[in-house]
Amino acid sequence: MEELGKAAVKAREQAYVPYSKFKVGAAVLGKSGQIFTGCNIENASYGLSNCAERTAIFKAVSAGETELTTIAVVADTPGPVSPCGACRQVMAEFGISQIILMNLKGDRRLVTMDELLPFSFAKVDFYKDGDNNE
């Protein structure tokens, strides 16, 4: 977990946030043991911006890693950062069971998906065996 947190902090340094100046970093752990990182990337049309959590998850999926277990998210917030609704739903979709919320001061909070997004939709809700090829 410590390695994942450090990777998220490092990823935050790459954030492209010319408008908000709000840098966020994320690191997601795949079942293979590989860590994928991401930062938030914004543009003038905020709706087309991408959060750090989704960047890390999409990077993992693009590399062929679809079984994800844990994600760490960090920002310069008073308390541990809280992911947006879109990121929460994407985390649920990929079955991420542990979420480490952090800030730069070292505050951490470990939460489950059910705590973060109760009653979320996940692929198991649509496919009996979890196989998205049905």
Point out the residues that are catalytic. 53
C-alpha dihedral sign at 6, 10, 16, 22:
positive
Q: How far is CA 131 from the centre of its chain?
A: 22
CB 34 within 8 A of CB 62: no
As given in the structure block, the two tokens for residue 54 are 């989704």
Q: How far is CA 85 from the centre of its chain?
A: 11
